[in-house]
Amino acid sequence: MLFSKKILSKTPKIRLSNLYKSFGRKHVLQGVNLDIYPGESLVIIGGSGTGKSVTLKCILGLMEPDAGEIEIDGQKVTHLSEKAREKVNAKMGMLFQGAALFDSLTVWENVAFGPMQTQRITKKDAKKLAIEKLALVGLTKDVADIYPASLSGGMKKRVGLARAIAGNPDIIFFDEPTTGLDPIMSDVINDLIITTTKKLGATALTITHDMTSARKIADRIAMLYNGKIIWIGSVKELDKTKDPYVRQFVAGSANGPILTQAKVEK
């Protein structure tokens, strides 16, 4: 594995060591090792069903790994108490695949949800904060009072992004931020991801199978295959690599070592 010396010297923001997770007989994660350094933007690529979302859910504490350790800022976060977990989660923001906005709340209530839960702020201040965050993602205050159901996919993603950054997180996760968007909107979202994370100085972990997006937002790219990280490197290294798995994935070709037949084990 290759990465620059400058990065190596710091303690990782997130460290995954030997992560295992199975569902019944389906072994999804089989020893994932990954270090993500403060301030970097790491992208995990990999085919559908390889366990990218599962990895993210383990880090967020939505799932318990079967074995292995997860460290955030050097602190072990597997088997935390509820209170301690909430404290860790306060450092993190997440943009979900389908945005996962709360249907029953208006746009501004969605955006200000985290701060309203964790800090004691008045409704007025919360709304002001929400409108500020909405401006960061290019939305005006006209959308603040409408319900998410009437937003387009791209706008939902933007609101989801505003909600993810509302609590000023150290770490932001993006689960397939560009899936289902047209190329132009995808690029807009990519730009927003770059500017918002830079503005916060946050560490970003993105999972995607959109290579255009990966190239644009990544400092480093890691490939997940067969339950393991099989390759990691910078975008430059990605183009030069001889790794047949990575080359096949990047080229988007059906021919190569990657098993395309979905293995269904029951």
Partner 1 sequence: MKFIDLLGRFVFNFLLATGRFGLFTAQTIRYMFTPPFYYKQLLTQLIEIGFYSLPVVALTTLFAGMVIALQTYTGFSQFSSEGPVSLVVLISVTRELAPVMAGLMVAGRIGASMAAELGTMRVTEQIDALSTLSTNPIKYLIVPRVLAGILMLPVLVLIGDIIGICGGYLIGIYKLEFNATTYLVNTWTYLKTMDIVSGLTKAAVFGFIITILGCYNGYNSKGGAQGVGAATTNAVVSASILILIFNYILTELFFNA
Ligand X SMILES: Nc1ncnc2c1ncn2[C@@H]1O[C@H](COP(=O)(O)OP(=O)(O)OP(=O)(O)O)[C@@H](O)[C@H]1O
What is the closest distance, in whole angstroms, from the C-beta atom of residue 99 to ligand X in the complex?
15
What is the closest distance, in whole angstroms, from the C-beta atom of residue 182 to Mg ion in the complex?
20
What is the closest distance, in whole angstroms, from the C-beta atom of residue 51 to ligand X in the complex?
4
How many angstroms separate the CA atoms of 82 and 115, rounded?
18
Going by their DSSP bridges, the two strands 26-36 and 14-23 should be labelled as antiparallel
Site membership for ligand X, residue 216 (CB under 6 A): no
8 Å CB contact between 126 and 114: no
* CA dihedral (242, 29, 91, 213) positive or negative: positive
Residue 193 burial (10 A CB sphere; 0-12, 13-18, 19+): buried
Q: Which does 103 bind (CB under 5 to 8 A by kind): Mg ion, partner 1, ligand X, none?
A: partner 1
44 vs 116 by CB, closer to ligand X: 44
Three-class secondary structure of residue 1 per DSSP? coil
Site string for partner 1, 67-106 (x = CB under 8 A): ---------------x---x--xx-xxx-xxx-xxxx---
Site membership for ligand X, residue 28 (CB under 6 A): yes
Site membership for ligand X, residue 51 (CB under 6 A): yes
Span 9-68, contacts to Mg ion by CB under 5 A = 53
Q: End-to-end alpha-carbon separation of the chain, Å?
A: 35
**Residue 72 has which token pair?**
């955030």
Site membership for partner 1, residue 23 (CB under 8 A): no
8 Å CB contact between 87 and 115: no
Binding site for partner 1 (CB under 8 A): 57, 60-62, 82, 86, 89-90, 92-94, 96-98, 100-103, 113-114, 117-118, 163, 167
Residues making contact with ligand X (CB under 6 A):
23, 26, 28, 46, 48-54, 209
